[in-house]
Structure 1
Amino acid sequence: MRFTLRQLSYFVAAGETGSVTRAAEQVNISQPSISAAISHLETEFGVQLFVRHHAQGLSLTPAGQQLLKAAKGSLRSMYELYDVASAAIGTVAGPISVGSFRTFTPLIMPEIWQGFSAEHPDVKMTVTEGSEADLLEGLRMARIDVALTYALHMTPDMDFQPLAELPTYAVLSAAHPLADREQVLLSELENTPFILLDMPLTRQYFLNILDQSGVSPRIAAETASPETLRSYVAAGLGFSLMSVRPRNMSAPNGLPLRYVAIKDEFPLMQVGLASLKEMRRTSVIDAFEAYCREQITTGALPGMAP
């Protein structure tokens, strides 16, 4: 065999992202290394794998599409060797690619990553953050093995293991007249401008909450960044809704925030681990799920309030 599994993984990254630049970012390697791997495989197999579009990325050829499917299967088989070796020596070892929902990635993922890696030093863990839609696509395309996300938009092809239930809070600036309340009805905030978290699937969930409460929001700003949203709210530009309440009540701009419980009755948001049903579970995934369950259900993570 005159090619390496590493070259194969670089090809898979390029095929899934459609871009040498994004592939390099995904596998944390230089762009020339990605290009060299693709060129080597094209020479080795005697086929063109991609059509190169100037400034517009890559498109897989029919031969490239077939090889991509086979390459992903080969890499999955390679990962299974880690399970065999781990079982033989009684340790957990091998790679795991974890996806994490963007709103709570900075709050809990650093501690999960550090703690899990310390407990299982032979595991190589990578983390990708994104919206719910990004994570579901990543699971289906086998870019990630498991995703820490909400149960809200799970589809029949997904397995979901719940870890915790979270209420939705009204996020207010410390100067808002209702900021010192323990609870608030959403109808009491109807005259306050609304800051919308504009991520696929998420935006509609929060708009549905307001609609169910009979509130027609006056949207003052939309952003896909949770950090920007908190800074807008803290500056007094409006209120927002979030289902994660960090212990640090300051926004990135240094201004204080208040997370006020909502009186309106809504189902709690389930946080858990999603994976593709047809994908074989490895001992690393099982160990990661067990670790997350222990940390999240016991409230051991400093970035998330109990």
Structure 2
Amino acid sequence: MLHAAHKAAKRLNMTQSAVSHAISSLETEWGVSLLICDRKKGISLTEIGQKTIPHIKEVLNRMETINQEISLSTNIETGTIRIGTFASASSCLLPKLLVKFQEKHPNIKFTFYEGTYEEITEWLLSGIIDIGFVVEVESNTEFDTVPLIKDRMVVSFHAEHKFLHKDTIDMHDIEKEPFIMPTGMYQSHVEELFKQAQIKPFIRFEVHDCNTIANMVQEGLGITIGPELLLKTQQNIKIENLILLNYREVSLTCSSISEASPAVKEFLKIAENAFHDSNKSSYEEVSIK
């Protein structure tokens, strides 16, 4: 218990005794135990503790919104935006948006959570993050979505591969090449390309992790197809366009734009405008008020 309280105190910028007292006071007020202390397993939540967590998070999110509304009325900006992101969005999309946002709102702070597509969706559902970069949002989703870009699927190969001097790659050129099949979120796009071309790839490896795929391509173990946003950031591999076109759609998503904090609404509005010109002909506009 003491070790957990010490870690919590450091994160909250409080004394260890203050954290222990706060937990004890809450348990006394509610008349229940929230934590289980076990020397071997450490600290864990009781059943009632687990049930209260979503409600506590919602209260904290509401308090953040109230503080931002008060600050907005007094022309003093404050607040934090929590963003869930995946690797290629972090390196290629997020910096552009942060620069534009902080030019107008330098006092807003950010907390970033980087994970898989599945983790980002879970973080949105549980209220851990305010906004998440997502791919291929279903039309019937419970989230509100702001489309950003259409990320083209490209072929990636070793720096000395015979594809190096080609302007575009035909799917039939890929048919007999050792192929590294991704098993993640964009696998369906790759399979759709082979289906359109009516060919079956010579699959040598099936790999889930994007960095592992890039490293295998770099070592000459095979070629792959994937999103340009991801593959163009990898070192020592080459990419080229395919004759057949296929895209994945990258968007920003939150639980509810209408109920979002002022800072989150402003971030989404700036994101919408930042990519508006490139998406004008591809997306129906999303109104953020």
Which TM-score applies when normalising by structure 2? Answer: 0.76
1:264 maps to which residue?
Answer: 244
Shift of 1:56: 5.8
Shift of 1:134: 1.0
Measured against aligned partners, the alpha-carbon deviations of 1:92-141 in whole angstroms (never above 9, x if no partner) come to 53111011122332223234335433431221111112221111111001
Of the three residues 72, 76, 81, the one matched with 1:96 is 81
Secondary structure, in 3 states, of the residue corresponding to 1:274?
strand
Shift of 1:69: 2.8
Q: Does 2:264 align with 1:282? A: no
- 8 Å CA contact 1:92–1:283 kept in 2: the answer is no
* Cα distance in 2, alignment partners of residues 31 and 219 from structure 1: 49
1:13 maps to which residue?
Answer: none
CA-atom RMSD, angstroms? 3.5
Instruction: Give % identity.
Output: 18
- 8 Å CA contact 1:117–1:125 kept in 2: the answer is no
Question: Highest Rg: 1 or 2?
Answer: 2
Measured against aligned partners, the alpha-carbon deviations of 1:49-81 in whole angstroms (never above 9, x if no partner) come to 233566767543222023313311220221122
Mapping of residues 192-203 of structure 1, within 5 Å: 192-199=177-184, 201-203=185-187
Question: Which residue identity does 1:291 align to in structure 2?
Answer: I
* Cα distance in 1, alignment partners of residues 220 and 37 from structure 2: 48
Mapping of residues 1-306 of structure 1, within 5 Å: 39-44=20-25, 45-46=27-28, 47-52=32-37, 59-90=44-75, 92-153=77-138, 156-199=141-184, 201-213=185-197, 214-220=199-205, 222-224=207-209, 226-245=210-229, 251-252=234-235, 255=236, 257-266=237-246, 268-277=247-256, 280-297=259-276
* Cα distance change on mapping 1:31 and 1:230 into 2, 3 Å: farther
Question: Which residue identity does 2:149 align to in structure 1?
Answer: A
Secondary structure, in 3 states, of the residue corresponding to 1:163?
strand
Shift of 1:146: 0.8
* Cα distance change on mapping 1:265 and 1:203 into 2, 3 Å: closer
Shift of 1:91: 5.7
* Cα distance change on mapping 1:171 and 1:53 into 2, 3 Å: farther
* Cα distance change on mapping 1:134 and 1:239 into 2, 3 Å: same
Question: Which residue identity does 1:276 align to in structure 2?
Answer: S
* Cα distance in 2, alignment partners of residues 190 and 51 from structure 1: 57
Secondary structure, in 3 states, of the residue corresponding to 2:93?
helix
| Count of residue pairs the alignment pairs up | 268
* Cα distance in 2, alignment partners of residues 279 and 59 from structure 1: 35
* Cα distance change on mapping 1:166 and 1:133 into 2, 3 Å: same
* Cα distance change on mapping 1:104 and 1:297 into 2, 3 Å: same
2:281 maps to which residue?
Answer: none
Which TM-score applies when normalising by structure 1? Answer: 0.72
Measured against aligned partners, the alpha-carbon deviations of 1:26-48 in whole angstroms (never above 9, x if no partner) come to x9955997987774443112332
* Cα distance in 2, alignment partners of residues 196 and 50 from structure 1: 45
Shift of 1:204: 4.7
The unaligned stretches of length 5 or more in structure 2 are 279-289
Shift of 1:206: 3.5
Question: Which residue identity does 2:24 align to in structure 1?
Answer: T
* Cα distance change on mapping 1:97 and 1:173 into 2, 3 Å: same
* Cα distance in 2, alignment partners of residues 250 and 94 from structure 1: 32
Secondary structure, in 3 states, of the residue corresponding to 2:269?
helix
- 8 Å CA contact 1:151–1:160 kept in 2: the answer is no
* Cα distance in 1, alignment partners of residues 203 and 186 from structure 2: 18
The unaligned stretches of length 5 or more in structure 1 are 1-19, 300-306
* Cα distance change on mapping 1:67 and 1:249 into 2, 3 Å: closer
Question: Which residue identity does 1:251 align to in structure 2?
Answer: Q
Secondary structure, in 3 states, of the residue corresponding to 1:271?
strand
Secondary structure, in 3 states, of the residue corresponding to 1:218?
strand
Secondary structure, in 3 states, of the residue corresponding to 1:138?
helix
* Cα distance change on mapping 1:270 and 1:206 into 2, 3 Å: same
Range moving further from structure 2, 36-45 or 230-239: 36-45
